[in-house]
């Protein structure tokens, strides 16, 4: 059964074609810079990789290009669109209503629209992608997989802010959390690797990429996470500040910053980039720090320190922790960063084995020392596969 997974952003459409349940990737590609004269369309199949720069004005044109690429006789992956049995879509915000992946119908569409104002940059293009995919494939199941859904089990004590209740009831201001498909994927995989039932593990899952978040998982369910109403809260990120004193915003306003410049400052100019003054990329910063750049070294230290603090607080929340799991570009590959984060935690039962850590650059496995009470795992994430699995589960013929 062929399943096509879409991840539609404001200026990019990424897609991946799977054969399920074998989990075989038949094709993957992207349209980048949608809306520009020099958009880039790419496709990788068993026949190799093709790439072309062309003008792609909007989403409908982007989907037409995807269709042409997939059906291309020489290097495509399909002879007919009817081979695709279902499509899965990443949807960033599901609000409070969606605790799992759902088949898209008129009701669900209304639900996705209802939270547009909570994710104004993400949900509108996500929905446009769904509409285009419905037009392209006709009457096959279209499944929405929400980034917030895994965090739907967070209890009120953790999801409410210390604000008057009407801000929650009227404006839905609460912690939602993001990166759910990734946290769930690595949590399930960790359970399997630990030889435990998926609802029998307590974990701290660290998704560290350009956007970063961390979750406390009890009995396989998310019970707390670092991102909040928006993906700005929590860890230090590539260009986002993460947690800060809200008083800073008033102070900046008094200094003449307006709402949009504060928004840009905190989302685009802060984090690793803001502190280092030079880069949002951990690899660059490590090279710079090795060469004596003190600001780069400080950026890496602050990044690691924030994660350590969250790990400590989630250890307190969970009481028993089976494993700390690292994923995302930095979590999977950042050997030095993992050591930096977990340094001097031996009294908490967390000890990295440096040799094992080195060996697991981008590779799945355990990296704790034999004397470490808590396991430390590296698990490459695969959000597209997680979407393909949910889509398969919800649309297979025997369902």
Q: Please identify every residue annotated as catalytic.
A: 147
Collapsing DSSP states into helix, strand and coil, what is residue 377?
strand
Least distance between ligand ADP and beta carbon 287 (Å): 10
Q: Between 123-137 and 59-71, two packed helices, what is the crossing angle to 10 degrees? A: 50
Q: Which residue is nearest to ligand ADP (CB)?
A: 329
One of 113, 197, 283, 373 touching ligand ADP (CB under 6 A): 283
User: What is the x/- site pattern for ligand ADP, positions 210-249, by CB under 6 A?
Assistant: xx--------------------------x-----------
328 binds ligand ADP (CB under 6 A): yes
Q: Which is nearer to ligand ADP, 210 or 348 (CB)?
A: 210
Q: What is the DSSP letter of 352?
A: B
Write out the two tokens for 76.
């495509």
Q: Between 106-114 and 123-137, two packed helices, what is the crossing angle to 10 degrees? A: 160
Q: Which residue has the tokens 């979407």?
A: 387
Q: How far, in Å, CA of 11 to CA of 4, rounded?
A: 19
282 binds ligand ADP (CB under 6 A): yes
Q: How far, in Å, CA of 207 to CA of 243, rounded?
A: 16
Q: How far, in Å, CA of 8 to CA of 89, rounded?
A: 8
User: What is the x/- site pattern for ligand ADP, positions 188-217, by CB under 6 A?
Assistant: ---------------------xxx------
Task: Tell me the window of 80-88, 131-139, 245-253, 277-285 that interacts with ligand ADP (CB under 6 A).
Answer: 277-285
One of 281, 346, 364, 366 touching ligand ADP (CB under 6 A): 281
How many amino acids of this chain bind ligand ADP (CB under 6 A)?
A: 13
Q: Between 294-318 and 335-342, two packed helices, what is the crossing angle to 10 degrees? A: 60
Least distance between ligand ADP and beta carbon 264 (Å): 19
Q: Which is nearer to ligand ADP, 304 or 337 (CB)?
A: 337
271 binds ligand ADP (CB under 6 A): no
Partnered with residue 4 across adjacent β-strands are 17, 87
The b-or-e profile of 63-86 (16+ CB within 10 A means b, else e) is bebbbebbeeeeebbbeeeeebbb
User: What is the x/- site pattern for ligand ADP, positions 11-40, by CB under 6 A?
Assistant: ------------------------------
Q: Which is nearer to ligand ADP, 212 or 368 (CB)?
A: 212
Alpha helices in the chain (DSSP H): 59-71, 106-114, 123-137, 156-159, 165-171, 180-194, 247-254, 259-268, 271-276, 282-290, 294-318, 328-333, 335-342, 354-359, 383-395
Least distance between ligand ADP and beta carbon 99 (Å): 24
66 binds ligand ADP (CB under 6 A): no
Q: Which is nearer to ligand ADP, 333 or 372 (CB)?
A: 333
Least distance between ligand ADP and beta carbon 131 (Å): 25
Q: Which is nearer to ligand ADP, 97 or 281 (CB)?
A: 281
Closest alpha carbon to 106 in 91, 127, 92, 125: 127
- Which parts of this chain interact with ligand ADP (CB under 6 A)? 209-211, 238, 281-283, 328-330, 333-334, 337
């Amino acid at each position: 059964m062929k399943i096509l997974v879409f991840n539609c952003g404001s200026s990019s459409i990424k897609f991946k074609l799977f054969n399920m349940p074998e989990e075989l990737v038949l094709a993957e590609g992207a349209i980048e810079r949608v809306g520009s004269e020099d958009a880039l369309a790419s496709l990788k199949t068993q026949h190799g990789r093709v790439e072309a720069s062309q003008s792609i004005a909007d989403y409908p044109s982007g989907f037409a290009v995807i269709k042409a690429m997939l059906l291309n006789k020489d290097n495509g992956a399909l002879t007919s669109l009817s081979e695709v049995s279902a499509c899965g879509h990443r949807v960033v915000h599901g609000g409070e209503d969606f605790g799992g992946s759902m088949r898209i119908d008129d009701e669900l569409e209304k639900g996705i629209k209802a939270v547009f104002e909570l994710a104004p940059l993400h949900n509108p293009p996500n929905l446009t992608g769904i509409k285009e995919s419905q037009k392209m494939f006709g009457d096959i199941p279209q499944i929405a997989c929400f980034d917030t859904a895994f965090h739907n089990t967070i209890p009120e004590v953790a999801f409410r802010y210390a604000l008057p209740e009407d801000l929650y009831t009227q404006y839905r201001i609460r912690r939602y959390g993001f990166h759910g498909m990734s946290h769930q994927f690595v949590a399930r995989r960790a359970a399997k690797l630990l030889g435990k039932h998926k609802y029998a593990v307590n974990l701290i899952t660290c998704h560290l990429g350009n956007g970063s978040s961390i979750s406390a998982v009890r009995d396989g369910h998310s019970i707390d996470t670092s991102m909040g109403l928006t993906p700005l809260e929590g860890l230090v990120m590539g260009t986002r500040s993460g947690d800060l004193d809200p008083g800073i915003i008033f102070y900046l306003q008094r200094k003449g910053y307006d709402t949009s410049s504060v928004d840009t400052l905190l989302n685009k100019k802060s984090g690793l980039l803001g502190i280092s003054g030079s880069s949002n990329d951990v690899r660059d910063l490590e090279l710079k720090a090795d060469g004596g750049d003190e600001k780069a070294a400080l950026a890496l230290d602050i990044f690691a320190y924030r994660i350590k603090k969250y790990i400590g607080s989630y250890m307190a929340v969970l009481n028993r922790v089976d494993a700390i799991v690292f994923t995302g570009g930095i979590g999977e590959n950042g050997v030095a960063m993992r050591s930096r984060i977990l340094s001097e935690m031996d009294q908490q039962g967390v000890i990295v084995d440096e040799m094992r850590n080195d060996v697991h650059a981008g590779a799945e496995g355990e990296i704790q020392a034999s004397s470490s009470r808590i396991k430390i795992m590296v698990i490459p994430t695969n959000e597209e596969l997680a979407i393909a699995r949910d889509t398969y589960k919800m649309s297979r013929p025997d369902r």
